Chains A and B, each alone.
Chain A
Amino acid sequence: MKTIPLNNIDTDDRRFCISYPLEDKTLAESIGEIGIVQPLILLDASPLIVITGFKRIMSAKKLGLANIPAIIKKARADEALLLSIHDNLGRGLNAVEKAHALEKMVSADFPRQKIFGIMELLSLKPHEKVLGNFVALANEGRPLKDFIVRHGASMKNIEYLLKFDARERKGIISLLSPLHITDSLLREILEMLILIRIRKGAVDLRGLRAPRDGRDLKARLKKKNYPLLSSMEKRLSAVKQRCALPPHIDIKIDPFFEKEYIDILLKIKSEDDLRAAMEKLNAILEDGYIRSILELTQG
């Protein structure tokens, strides 16, 4: 290990960099307090090129450090890239970092077998399609990458996001970024946006602006994608509201109005409870509300 002046290193050369994002506040604070504990690995060149330690060197620069601890390594470019990838494997890479690793391997003309081997180490399916998606992600701009890292987006959601063109994606990311949404809710939202795109040829985000939360956005999209179902739900809710059912009576209807029957649930503790429930049911039957509900289930 040597102490290397920062001036001797080309800190802008990112050919082996897979880390994303490079800014790391916690690491910077730690380096500020006790310095760089783990030495960087630098490629023996003039100037020296970073193989591992991009976050550390960014923090060092920011903190105004003049020297850093490092190991100088003689290696071919392909060996250096593999070293960078393997050095990072242990810490659990995010999707964008995986994308960077794979894109760099593809650009460096690594044989497919080798790339697929690394994909397995990254817990990815070694398939051409998956590789294609990751390479596409690596070539995307910061807004998408930041969104994916922040939301911990799954492979499926990354695939969905890549289906939109750049303009649509920009709009979608700005729509979704302020929301706290789970990956499964994100998936439902993206699936509905894709359906709109496939059906209409483009995504029109008007009418979706400033949703209260993820559920509100999902509800608005559902209205656009499932107008019949939404209108039936609305009618059902109106009828149920008019019925003014007490908490111990519930009418359950198939969520998609497929089943031709409804379930009526009663919670009773005494004969009087049952009598009261039956009276209430009789009243809503006489008022035609049961018929209205049954009509909804009959298409």
Chain B
Amino acid sequence: MNSLRVEHAVSEGNIVRDCPGTKDHICCGYKTIDLIEGCPLSCSYCILKAYLNTPAITIHDNIPYITSQIDEMTGREVRHILRFGTGELSDSLALDRRYKLNRPLVEFFGERKNALLELKSKWASIDHLIPCLNPYTIISFSVAPQRIIDEEEKRTSPLYKRLKAAKKAQDAGCFVGLHFDPIIIYPGFEKDYRYLIEDISRLLDMDRIIWLSLGLLRFPPKLLGHYIEHNRRNLLYGEFIRGEDGKMRYIKQQRVKVYTMLYRMLKKKSKGLFIYFCMEREDVWRKVTGMTVKDDDDLMTLFDERIKNLYGGNI
């Protein structure tokens, strides 16, 4: 990571904004903080390859400017408990030991106590944050079978380190989040995911996982050519169609089958686990979970209930 070109941006415009979501798919109403744009981890499937034009990493480090935008957003919201994250255009932790951008945000959310900050990562480095962690920060890890980490997420931390770091966060009094995203279909993936779920349930306190997302691989069409060019066998194994939002995704029949398998495996480990889908259709929700989640607002309400159950009146 020493050869990274890092630019410090002048703070202007909306650095805190709504997750763009995607047409005709249910979004969880996430708020993104573009603290860093660009990622040093360079996973093979990463959609940032399609969205960001520059190899440089841009840092927005004017924290007062950012927190004023967060305040403005939480002040405007009257119905839902807002969840903010810095992992949309970058990895939340990969550069944090060097640039220490999260600490003031963690402290800010701990003082405000009216919203949650999620630090989403594939980089298992949280020791520098432990002294300032508080329950209003969710340490989250994207997880995948080690085979996928070895082949498609080469610069990231291995699975056991991510789970160890998540455990450390739980021990420090935080809830953690897990993201099965992207879930990749390849020969033998079912067995690998079963082992992954076994590892999670063995190493983590399942009651202190605040949420777990499931999101099968999806990408803008222009990345298909990129995957073909780089012979990404794992990424091209399933049957892709062009979704209503224009993104490539596995055909619905495959999605429902895989989600159902994972949903059942996870619920078997912890009945009360809060599982949601990232960018899925209403009928997929219904078919897999039996729940009717017809729009973004319904999903946000489910999040509200989950958070209230865990935090009581403390938020």
Contacts and interface: CB of A to CB of B under 8 A. Distances in A.
Interface string B236-254: 1101011110000001111
A91 interface: no
Q: What is the predominant secondary structure among interface residues of chain B facing chain A?
A: mixed
B281 A258 contact: yes
The size class of the interface chain B forms with chain A is 20 to 34
A199 B228 contact: no
Nearest to A129: B229
A258 B282 CA distance: 11
B230 to A, nearest CB: 10
B283 interface: yes
Pick from B241, B242, B256, B284 the residue with the most CB of A within 10 Å. Answer: B241
Interface stretch (A57-65, A76-84, A190-198, A206-214): A190-198
A258 B287 contact: no
Interface string B71-89: 0000000000000000000
B244 A228 contact: no
B287 A199 contact: no
Contacts of B228: 191, 194-195, 198
Contacts of B3: none
B281 A232 contact: no
Contact of B236 (A198, A232, A298): A198
Contacts of B24: 259
Contact of B253 (A225, A254, A260, A299): A299
Interface string B213-239: 000000000000000100111001101
Contact of A299 (B232, B237, B283): B283
Contacts of B281: 258, 260
Contacts of A226: 239, 241, 251
A229 interface: yes
A258 B243 CA distance: 7
B260 to A, nearest CB: 10
Given A259-B244, A298-B287, A299-B252, 16 more contacts: A194-B228, A198-B231, A225-B239, A228-B239, A228-B251, A229-B239, A229-B241, A229-B251, A256-B242, A258-B244, A258-B252, A298-B252, A298-B283, A299-B253, A299-B256, A299-B283
Interface of B: 24, 228, 231-233, 236-237, 239, 241-244, 251-257, 281-284, 287
8 pairs of A and B residues whose beta carbons are closest in the complex: A299-B252, A256-B241, A299-B256, A260-B283, A299-B253, A228-B239, A198-B236, A228-B251
Interface of A: 191, 194-195, 198-199, 225-229, 232, 254, 256-260, 297-299
